[in-house]
Amino acid sequence: MALIAAAQFMVIMDTSIIGVALPRMQEDLGFSQENLSWVFNAYVVAFGGLLLLGGRLSDLFGARRMFATGWAVLLVGSVVAGVAGTVGVELIGRAVQGVGAALIAPSALTLLMMLFGATPKELTKALALYGAAAPAGGTAGVFLGGLITEYVSWPWVFYINIPIAVLALAATPALMPGGNAGGRGSVDVLGAATVTAGLGAAVYAIVRAPEVGWESAQTLLVLAGAAVLLGLFVVIQANRRQPLMRLSILRTPNLGAANLAQLLLGGAWIPMWFFLNLYLQQVLGYSAFPSGAALLPMTILIMVGMIVLAPRAIARFGPKAMVVTGLAVLAVGMGWLSLIRPDGNFWVDVLPASLLAALGMSLAFIPSLGTALSSARPEEGGLAAGIVNTSYQVGSALGLAAMTAVAASFGADQLDNLPALTDGFSAAFVGAAAISAVGAVLAAVTLHTGRQAGAAETTSDAVAATANR
């Protein structure tokens, strides 16, 4: 269980640990302000785009084998990202890290079900530890990123993965169960390629649009190409006998609504986290370690809220009420953050608003995830888990790309002009708040009570049934 939790911890930590290191990486490698978000997006696009393929490979070749392979790929990507001396090499390393994470995440959940699925009480405890590892990884990433960047150097935010990956590779054969290998079927490589390429093209077009123009031929052609690729993915899934994602599953009541909530939650939260890091360092003048420490109250509240507060609130009010409330509170928190000032300070401009946003995130995330998992039929629980993970990562990538474009159009590319820089970051917070507010409205309209109202209580049973199918 510790090894499985470590996998979830690392996958999430690798998204957050780079936050406070971004300004140093920008100086050393020559990233533009607009392209800096690709240090995050290269990881997330590869991770989100290949999650369904990672789950399929786990079914075909065995969860333990794919778990170990994912750690090996993550190790290689970490080395490349750490030694990178150019923008291109850095982004390649981050993408390779994302590929490794896409192999680790679904196989880790499969191994958890294999180990604990036969006993529902044990499975509930295991899922609690697995779930707690995510906010713990986010918290550790923020803190360690600041500590390492301030007192060592930014490449070590990647090198820290190496000893952990080596230990995981050594422990996997002894601790993880075998079996679950040699499944029949084929790998939908074309489906994986089209969805990943389509997502990458869409993000690239949105990030580049402020520089080349929204009506330029380049922007329009790349967006059209993204639409064609994503449309082709849907056609492929509809016609393959063994697709990455059976489209019929989206007709399951509440599944589509919960995934939409996760997509918009990622699209709102990640831009807020990204630009808050930049505001602390580029406007308030925090160095890397104080910047990481400044975000600790927010991330600790998320961890406590997800583990302690959210389950109790769901039991009392139901998952729909908490998803809607959480997204609404998150929108208010980010609206409050948009009031940041060029001569502001942490205690007034950052801390109260970030804590309110963190509360909203912790309330919305667990019930939307639980609803997505428990809405599907038991035999489709694994597929449902892959889809909801993908939704969040896709939302994160596209939300950050869109808010990067918004921020740049309002002055975030003027690094030597603090008022303009602050206006750009403020605009990004307003945009993220709008995404969250739209998510709250859509969740109120599309999520249904009734059988799914007990999603939090039935998630473990659904996963257990999936493990025993």
Q: In the structure encoding, which two tokens stand for residue 222, read together?
A: 């790349």
CB atoms closer than 10 angstroms to residue 360: 27
Q: Cα 314 vs. chain centroid, distance in angstroms?
A: 22
DSSP assignment of 311-338? HHHHHHH-HHHHHHHHHHHHHHHHHHHT
Residues in CB range of 251: below 8 A, 6 or more apart: none
Q: Are 10 and 47 in contact (CB under 8 A)?
A: no
Q: Are 210 and 408 in contact (CB under 8 A)?
A: yes
Q: In the structure encoding, which two tokens stand for residue 17, read together?
A: 């640990």
Backbone angles phi, psi at 92, to 5 degrees: -60, -45
Is the model more confident about 71 or about 299? 71
Is the model more confident about 55 or about 351? 351
Answer CATH for 1-186 from 3.40.50.2000, 3.40.50.1370, 1.20.1250.20, 2.30.110.10: 1.20.1250.20
Instruction: Give residue 107's pLDDT.
Output: 85
Instruction: Give residue 469's pLDDT.
Output: 37
Look at 95-109, 149-163, 196-210, 403-417 and tell me which has the smallest mean pLDDT.
Answer: 196-210
Q: Residue 90: which pLDDT band, with cuts at 50, 70 and 90?
A: very high
The CATH number of the structural domain formed by 246-469 is 1.20.1250.20
Instruction: Give residue 451's pLDDT.
Output: 43
Instruction: Give residue 385's pLDDT.
Output: 67
What percent of the chain has pLDDT above 90? 38
Look at 1-15, 157-171, 196-210, 406-420 and tell me which has the smallest mean pLDDT.
Answer: 196-210
Q: Are 130 and 8 in contact (CB under 8 A)?
A: yes
Instruction: Give residue 131's pLDDT.
Output: 67
For 95-151, what is each residue's pLDDT tens digit?
999 999 989 988 887 788 788 877 766 766 676 677 667 767 776 787 788 888 888
Domain limits, CATH 1.20.1250.20, in the chain: 1-186, 246-469
Is the model more confident about 385 or about 394? 394
Instruction: Give residue 463's pLDDT.
Output: 38
Q: Residue 207: which pLDDT band, with cuts at 50, 70 and 90?
A: low
Query: Nearest CA to 363 among 392, 329, 334?
Result: 329
For 29-80, what is each residue's pLDDT tens digit?
988 876 787 888 788 778 877 877 887 788 778 889 999 999 999 999 999 9
Mean pLDDT estimate for the chain: 84
Instruction: Give residue 318's pLDDT.
Output: 87
Instruction: Give residue 367's pLDDT.
Output: 84
For residue 380, is pLDDT > 70?
no
Look at 185-199, 281-295, 454-468 and tell me which has the smallest mean pLDDT.
Answer: 454-468
Look at 280-284, 373-377, 388-392 and tell me which has the smallest mean pLDDT.
Answer: 373-377
Q: How far apart are CA 251 and CA 253, in angstroms?
A: 6
For residue 352, is pLDDT > 90?
yes
